[in-house]
Amino acid sequence: MAGTWIFVEQRDGNIRKVTYEMLSEAKKFGDEVAAVVFGKGVEALAPEFAKYGADKVYVVEDDVFANYNTGAYVAQMVAMINEFKPNAVLFAHTFNGRDFGSRLAQKLQLGLATDAIAVELSAGKGLFTRAIYAGKALAKVEVAGEPVLGTIRPGVCEVGDVSGAGAVVKPAVAATAADVYQTVKSFVPTVSARPELTEADVVVSGGRGCKGPDGIKLVEQLADLLGAAVGGSRASIDSGWLGHELQVGQTGKVVNPNLYVAAGISGAIQHLAGMSSSKFIAAINTDTEAPIFNVSDFGVVADLFKVIPTLVSELKK
């Protein structure tokens, strides 16, 4: 096989964890694993990828790649695929990754499996497991092609104890400013000291049972003790207690943390769609019949306003 390429998700040199997850996962298939990074001043990142399994690191530096833009990135990737002929190219299923994957696949007239929760690669073929109907069913799809293309859901693959030589390869720059058709006017990062929802190891979410900003404060207090991201059900987002980007569920974010804590959330099917694949789930709810208990590993039937303060002090012990 001619290698599995992992497209590096980074912004201003900050690499998203899913990149490492994909590098480690790709290593399982025995083929050479390469990280592919486009940007400006990104060569210094190469040793990072070696630590997580990259045998090779393709580095392409140019002003035109300073920020992700579909046109230039696709043009560059097409040229590199033609030159190096990788067996598979995987992207993270993120705002940029799915955009890149979809436009590239169409340009190459190829299939693409998106938002995969499991992947098996062999020569000229990829088997991807996708969660469909918001996780209520699974579909295994076969993508054949040169290369095999897919996007992987963040948080589903484990970062392994693997490493690679990380030999740097510098392909020719094949894109110019003429390839750019989107002008990014601004990018305003969400100001938060907390980790991002889709990247966090622990997520603490609050629902209507929080009853207002005071209840949400308790959720935040627990989250900060655990170094967690804060999330919410649609009820708490619609009530204006939390920003929309923090909604977990079918029409919000899909999260896969090690621990998900649902406080005052009933567990509507659309909410479960966004969190039921978390490794451990804890629920705090006054209603013993609440459906959230059907998916939780540890549930307590109690008032969150009384439970969370004690929980915080017990954890600190």
Ligand X SMILES: Cc1cc2nc3c(=O)[nH]c(=O)nc-3n(C[C@H](O)[C@H](O)[C@H](O)COP(=O)(O)OP(=O)(O)OC[C@H]3O[C@@H](n4cnc5c(N)ncnc54)[C@H](O)[C@@H]3O)c2cc1C
- Residues 218-247 binding ligand X (CB under 6 A) are 233-236, 247
In whole angstroms, how close is the CB of 139 to another protein at the nearest point? 5
| Among ligand X, another protein, none, residue 285 binds (CB under 5-8 Å by kind) | ligand X
The candidate with the shortest Cα–Cα distance to 282, out of 308, 306, 305, is 308
How far lies 314's CA from each of 110, 222, 308, 317, in Å? 54, 11, 10, 5
Q: Under rule CB under 8 A, which residues in 55-94 are in contact with another protein?
A: 70-71, 93-94
Q: For residues 128-187, which are near another protein according to CB under 8 A?
A: 130-145, 181-187
How crowded is residue 288: how many other Cβ atoms within 10 Å of its Cβ? 8
Which member of 17, 27, 56, 271 binds ligand X (CB under 6 A)? 271
Structure tokens at 255: 């999260």
Q: Hey, which residues between 192 and 221 contact ligand X (CB under 6 A)?
A: 207-209
Q: Which of 105, 230, 235, 265 binds another protein (CB under 8 A)?
A: 105
Site for another protein in 256-295 (CB under 8 A): 258-259, 269-270, 273, 276, 280-282, 284, 288, 293-295
Q: What is the SS3 assignment for 295?
A: helix
Q: From the list ligand X, another protein, none, pick the one residue 124 interacts with, judged by a Cβ distance below 5 to 8 Å according to partner type.
A: none
Q: Quick one: 82 or 170, whose CB is closer to another protein?
A: 82
Cβ of residue 217: shortest distance to another protein, in angstroms?
17
Radius of gyration of the chain (CA): 21
| Pairing, β 202-206 against β 229-232 | parallel
From the list another protein, ligand X, none, partner contacted by residue 308 (C-beta under 5 to 8 A by kind):
another protein
DSSP annotation of 102: H
Based on the shown chain and the rule CB under 6 A, indicate whether residue 27 belongs to the binding site for ligand X.
no
CA distance 277 to 56: 32
Helix (H) or strand (E) holding 15: strand 14-15
CB of residue 213 vs another protein: minimum separation in angstroms?
20
Near ligand X by CB under 6 A: residue from 83, 214, 287, 297: 287
Per-residue contact track with another protein, 17 to 56, x per CB under 8 A? ----------------------------------------
Q: Interhelix angle for 304-316 vs 213-225, to 10°?
A: 20
Q: Which stretch binds ligand X (CB under 6 A): 10-18, 43-51, 149-157, 262-270?
A: 262-270
Around 239, how many Cα atoms within 13 Å sit in the side-chain half-sphere?
Answer: 16
- Chain positions 203 to 242 lying near another protein, rule: CB under 8 A, are 224-227
Distance CA 54, CA 127 (A): 22
Helices 95-107 and 70-84 pack at an angle, to 10 degrees, of 60
